[in-house]
Each structure stands twice: as structure tokens, then as C-alpha cells.
């Protein structure tokens, strides 16, 4: 037995009293096995695994009871020095939020070398060769070895985290939502990589995920958690084919499947809300100092390269493609959050490129964005109530007298508990932070939203609620949306039309069902072939 956890209980002492985040949880894991832990955001999945490695801040956290025997040694009784020797060596961790886990002051190369030199005792030259090989395995080019985390997209940062964890070939890998930010093709590669390393080295894996389709393809055993407790456990076949607990059945029912059921009437030739023509957004290559004067100037990075499309009023258009294909850059370029190199964007008949700053601010109420990384986009010094009240007051959609009531209505719409208004972003799970970001975006009742991976951090049941909410908003307010996602099943369930982006260009676009049933571009065919499918 590699790991045996018995009666683990973790509590947090807060202003609201004592919260039991992990309640008497037990499980075991042999070398080479994969245990998947699933459940809604806030169910205690991550806290359970953080507790094993002393990653719970104490206070306010406290291990109230239990044991966790790793190769016969109780991790819960180990000193901080002993745990430091285990973390990153025998037990590696892939964290859910790569931007807050990577050191912004170090290149990714240095961050890959450090655990190899520290835990495996190999020299820098050998460590570099190993690190470059692992980067290639997770789909990152060798020339990016000297880049910093902020120079990567969200999905590519997640690949870096996976490379760091796999680099040392640990005995146990704890993966907290490891494929959340990845497109389906890279997700399939990462899952295959983890599986191959298990077979080669006998690595055990604890796989935390809200995506039950992914869990079905990798797990030997599944643990279902709700409100800190284990409500069901079993093999993949038992959980998917013969679920016993009502909560498990609820999770399975929420997996997005099939085509969109609510279709808006097709409008006659009306002026689209958004018209994009030959849009280009290029980024200059970084300067190399004085030596760069002696070299030929590097070609600019063509993140968006001559893109044209329209979005009708009330239309939901999906934008899919691999991480780094230019999806997020395109979304930000539409709203003038990034400088555009060439081309035009017309919103409601207005050329956004011709607007002065004051006029653009006026349009901000009607154009909003849901960012991919809620932790980075929310102000850490503002409570939920303050975060949601700000756009309401700024755009005069509420007064000081009624703003609290409107904030509570927003919280209800996105499934946030009303008594959490006084909390700060760091006090929420990743999925709960995403709900706050969505509530802030819809606060001003905009006409157009760019939603950049808005449900990627949410478990399937909350994801289904948010997708239903977005559909309701579209129907009630004629809302238009560019929905950026790597989850093609979600896009199919939500969107009227789909655009496929690859290396800065739109390689295919059309109505959702015809595109899914008969994709023309080889790249689109590859994306659809990589979709994980649950055995339902």
C-alpha cells in the first residue's frame, strides 16, 4: 500500500464559526493506481489533498483528526522539514491555478531545473536536458525555455505546471484539475502521458476533477465528495452505470451532451451587432538589447492574423482552438483591451477604433468580458459585495439605497450563497471565484459579452446552471456573446454558430450541428476526435 488515509478531518476557524471542510474521509491507493476525486466546487476535494502535504494554512486551518500513511510514514505527523523533502520529490502536485503557483520572477526553465537539482541531485546540464524533453512531451517548444509565466496563455501555463510535476518522476502525483485550462487535443496528450508514466514507473495518481468525462478515461477508482464527506465510491463502471447516491446521479445528469435545444429564430438580413473585418493583432518580438542590432529583426508574433466574422443580435458564437491559437487575444482585441495592428471592429454600428477614451468608456457598459482567470481579474482587496456593487454604482444602475438588494439578486443568479458577501476572493474555491466574475460581467446588463473560458473551473452541475443562466440572459435581454472555450461539448450545447481558430486564423466556421456532424478542416476533425466521452 503506497498511501492509506484514515478518518481525515480538516477544519477552518473563521468569523462565521468552525467549518469542517473534510469530514472523516478515508481511502487507500496502491502504486500504479489512479484514484479520481469528484464533486462540486467547495466539496472539499482540494482541501483533502492539501491536508496530506501540510499545505493548509494554520491558522485558520487545522487537521482535527486522522492519519495519512505514505510508505508507512504518517504525513500528518511529519515535521515541516520532512514534508519539504517529500513535496516535489516523492509526491508531486499539479495545482489548479498555474498563474498563482508559478514564480513570476523566474523563467519556466529555472523553475523546471530547481526540483530536479534539489530532489534528484543531478547537475544543471543533465537537468536541462531532462527539462527540455519534458517540455516537448507536454507540447511546449524548446525555445520557450527562457520565457516567463506571463508570456504564456492560461492553457500553456498549465502545461508548464504539469511538466514541473512530471519532471521528477514522483511516486505519487496529485493532480488538482490538471486539464481544466487545456484544449481537448493537449488534454488527450496529457492524459496519455500520465498513463504512460504510470505504466513505466508505477506512479500512483490522485486525480481531482469536475469533468466526469475525463475521469472516466483515466481512473481505476472514483471517490464522490459532497460537503466534505465521501458519499459514494466505486469503480468507473459502478459509478457511471450503477450510481447509488442521488448526488452522484445529479452529477452524471449534468454532463453536457448532444446539441443545443433552444434555438433563437433566424433573423432576416439585419445589421449585425458585431462586425469584424480583417482584424490583425501582432506582438513584437522581445528586444535582445545591443546584440539585437547585429541580428536580423525577428518576425512579430501574429496572434490574430486577418480574421473576419459577424455576430448577430441574440447570437451565441463559439470560438474553439488549441491553447495559444489566439482565441483570448481575439476576444480582448474586440473590446479594445489590446492594441489592434490592423482591421476594424464595429459594435452596434460604431467603429470602436475611432472612439476616444471617453466615448469608449461609455460603451463599456454594453460590452463586458468574463476573463479566464478569476483570481487574477478580481480585486483581492474588495469583498464580493464591493466587487459586484462597483459596476452598478459606476454605471448608475443602482443607488446607495438599493445597491445591496441588487447585489444579492446577482449572487442568487450565479449560485453564490448570500452570506458570503463579506468574504474576499482568496476565501473562495476556484469555481466560486468564477461565479463572482460572471456576476460582475452581467451586472451592467450588457448587449455583448466576450466569455473567455467562463465555465472551465466549474464542476458539471454548477456549469450546467451557469450555461442555463447564460441562455436565459440571451433570451430575456437579446444578449450576444462570443463564447471562448476548449470544451467542445459545452460549445455544442450552448452556441448557435462555431468558429475554429488555429495559429491566429479562422480555419472553419458555420452553424454548430453541421460543423460538428461534418467538419471540413483537418484541424477541426482532430479536435472533435479528441473529445473525451463518458460511458453513459
33 domain residue, yes or no: yes
- Residue 467 in contact with residue 481, Cβ under 8 Å? no
pLDDT at residue 169, rounded to an integer? 79
DSSP for 267-316 reads PPS---SEEEEEEEEEEPPPP-GGGGGGSPPPPPEEEEEEEEEEE-TT-E
Q: Is 529 exposed, middle or buried (0-12, 13-18, 19+ CB in 10 A)?
A: exposed
DSSP for 85-146 reads HHBTTTEEEE-S-HHHHS-TTS-HHHHHHHHHHHHS---HHHHHHHHHHHHHHTT--GGGTT
Give 416-474 as a 3 state SS string: CCHHHCCCCHHHCCHHHHHHHHHHHHHCCCCCEEEEECCCCCCCHHHHHHHHHHHHHHH
Which residues form the domain of 90?
3-246
* Length of the chain as a residue count: 536
- Residue 306 in contact with residue 278, Cβ under 8 Å? yes
Mark out the alpha helices in 368-429 (DSSP H runs).
374-377, 384-394, 403-413
CA 535, chain centre distance (Å): 24
Same domain, 235 and 317: no
* Pairwise CA distance, residues 515 & 488, whole Å: 11
Task: Specify the DSSP element, H or E, that contains 161.
Answer: helix 154-167
| Cell triple for 84 | 519539504
Cβ neighbours of 150 (radius 10 Å): 9
293 domain residue, yes or no: no
Same domain, 24 and 149: yes
Same domain, 438 and 525: yes
Same domain, 49 and 169: yes
- End-of-domain residue from the set 209, 227, 246: 246
* Pairwise CA distance, residues 438 & 440, whole Å: 5
* Pairwise CA distance, residues 207 & 38, whole Å: 9
346 domain residue, yes or no: no
Q: Residues 220-277: pLDDT tens digits?
A: 999 999 888 999 999 988 998 898 999 988 888 877 766 666 655 544 446 889 999 9
* Pairwise CA distance, residues 35 & 109, whole Å: 30
Same domain, 213 and 315: no
Helix, coil or strand: residue 3 = strand
Q: Residues 137-184: pLDDT tens digits?
A: 777 888 888 888 888 876 678 788 888 887 777 889 898 887 766 677
Q: Which residue has the higher pLDDT, 373 or 238?
A: 238
371 domain residue, yes or no: yes
Task: Assign residue 370 the CATH number of its domain.
Answer: 3.40.50.300
- Residue 140 in contact with residue 154, Cβ under 8 Å? no
Average pLDDT over residues 319-335: 88
Same domain, 163 and 44: yes
| Residue percentage of the chain with pLDDT more than 70 | 92
* Pairwise CA distance, residues 201 & 383, whole Å: 46
As for how many domains the chain has, the answer is 2
Helix, coil or strand: residue 149 = helix
520 domain residue, yes or no: yes
Of 187, 232, 247, which Cα lies nearest the Cα of 213? 187
- Residue 436 in contact with residue 42, Cβ under 8 Å? no
Same domain, 316 and 415: yes
* Pairwise CA distance, residues 177 & 134, whole Å: 20
297 domain residue, yes or no: no
Q: pTM here?
A: 0.71
157 domain residue, yes or no: yes
Q: Residues 335-363: pLDDT tens digits?
A: 999 999 999 999 988 999 888 888 888 88
283 domain residue, yes or no: no
Amino acid at each position: 500500500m503506497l498511501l492509506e488515509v484514515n478518518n481525515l478531518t480538516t477544519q477552518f476557524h473563521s468569523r462565521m464559526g468552525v467549518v469542517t471542510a473534510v469530514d472523516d474521509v478515508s481511502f487507500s491507493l496502491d502504486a500504479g493506481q489512479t484514484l479520481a476525486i469528484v464533486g462540486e466546487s467547495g466539496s472539499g476535494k482540494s482541501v483533502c489533498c492539501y491536508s496530506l502535504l501540510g499545505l493548509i494554512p494554520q491558522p485558520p486551518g487545522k487537521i482535527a483528526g486522522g492519519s495519512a500513511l505514505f510508505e508507512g510514514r504518517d504525513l500528518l505527523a511529519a515535521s515541516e522539514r520532512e514534508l519539504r523533502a517529500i513535496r516535489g520529490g516523492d509526491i508531486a502536485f499539479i495545482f489548479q491555478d498555474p498563474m498563482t503557483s508559478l514564480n513570476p520572477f523566474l523563467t519556466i526553465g529555472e523553475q523546471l531545473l530547481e526540483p530536479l537539482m534539489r530532489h534528484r541531485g543531478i547537475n544543471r546540464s543533465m537537468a536541462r536536458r531532462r527539462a527540455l524533453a519534458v517540455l516537448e512531451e507536454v507540447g511546449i517548444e524548446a525555445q520557450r525555455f527562457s520565457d516567463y509565466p506571463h508570456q504564456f496563455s492560461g492553457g500553456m501555463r498549465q502545461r508548464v505546471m504539469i511538466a514541473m510535476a512530471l519532471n521528477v518522476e514522483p511516486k505519487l502525483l496529485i493532480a488538482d484539475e490538471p486539464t481544466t485550462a487545456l484544449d481537448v487535443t493537449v488534454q488527450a496528450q496529457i492524459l496519455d502521458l500520465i498513463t504512460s508514466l504510470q505504466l513505466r514507473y508505477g506512479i500512483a495518481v490522485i486525480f481531482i476533477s469536475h469533468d466526469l468525462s475525463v475521469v472516466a478515461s483515466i481512473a481505476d477508482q472514483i471517490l464522490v465528495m459532497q460537503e466534505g464527506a465521501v458519499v459514494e465510491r466505486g469503480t468507473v463502471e459502478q459509478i457511471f452505470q450503477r450510481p447509488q447516491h442521488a448526488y452522484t446521479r445529479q452529477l452524471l445528469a449534468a454532463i453536457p451532451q448532444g446539441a443545443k435545444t433552444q434555438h433563437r429564430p433566424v433573423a432576416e438580413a439585419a445589421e449585425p451587432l458585431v462586425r469584424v473585418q480583417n482584424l490583425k493583432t501582432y506582438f513584437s518580438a522581445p528586444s535582445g538589447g545591443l546584440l539585437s542590432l547585429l541580428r536580423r529583426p525577428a518576425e512579430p508574433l501574429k496572434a490574430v492574423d486577418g480574421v473576419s466574422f459577424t455576430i448577430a443580435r441574440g447570437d451565441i458564437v463559439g470560438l474553439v482552438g488549441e491553447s495559444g491559437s489566439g482565441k483570448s487575444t481575439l476576444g480582448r482585441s474586440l473590446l479594445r483591451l489590446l492594441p489592434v495592428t490592423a482591421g476594424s471592429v464595429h459594435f452596434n454600428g460604431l467603429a470602436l477604433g475611432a472612439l476616444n477614451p471617453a466615448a469608449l468608456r461609455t460603451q463599456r457598459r454594453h460590452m463586458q468580458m468574463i476573463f479566464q482567470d478569476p483570481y487574477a481579474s478580481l480585486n483581492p482587496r474588495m469583498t464580493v459585495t464591493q466587487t459586484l456593487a462597483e459596476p452598478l454604482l459606476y454605471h448608475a444602475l443602482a443607488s446607495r439605497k438599493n445597491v445591496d438588494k441588487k447585489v444579492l439578486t446577482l449572487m442568487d443568479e450565479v449560485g453564490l450563497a448570500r452570506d458570503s458577501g463579506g468574504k474576499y476572493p482568496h476565501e473562495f474555491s476556484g469555481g466560486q471565484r468564477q461565479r463572482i466574475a460572471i456576476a460582475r460581467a452581467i451586472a451592467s446588463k450588457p448587449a455583448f459579452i466576450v466569455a473567455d473560458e467562463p465555465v472551465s473551473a466549474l464542476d458539471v452541475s454548477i456549469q450546467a446552471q451557469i450555461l442555463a443562466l447564460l441562455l436565459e440572459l440571451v433570451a430575456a435581454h437579446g444578449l450576444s456573446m462570443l463564447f471562448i472555450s476548449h470544451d467542445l461539448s459545452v460549445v455544442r450545447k450552448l452556441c448557435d454558430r462555431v468558429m475554429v481558430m488555429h495559429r491566429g486564423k479562422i480555419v472553419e466556421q458555420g452553424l454548430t450541428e453541421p460543423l460538428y456532424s461534418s467538419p471540413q478542416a483537418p484541424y477541426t476533425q482532430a479536435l472533435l476526435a479528441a473529445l473525451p466521452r463518458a460511458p453513459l
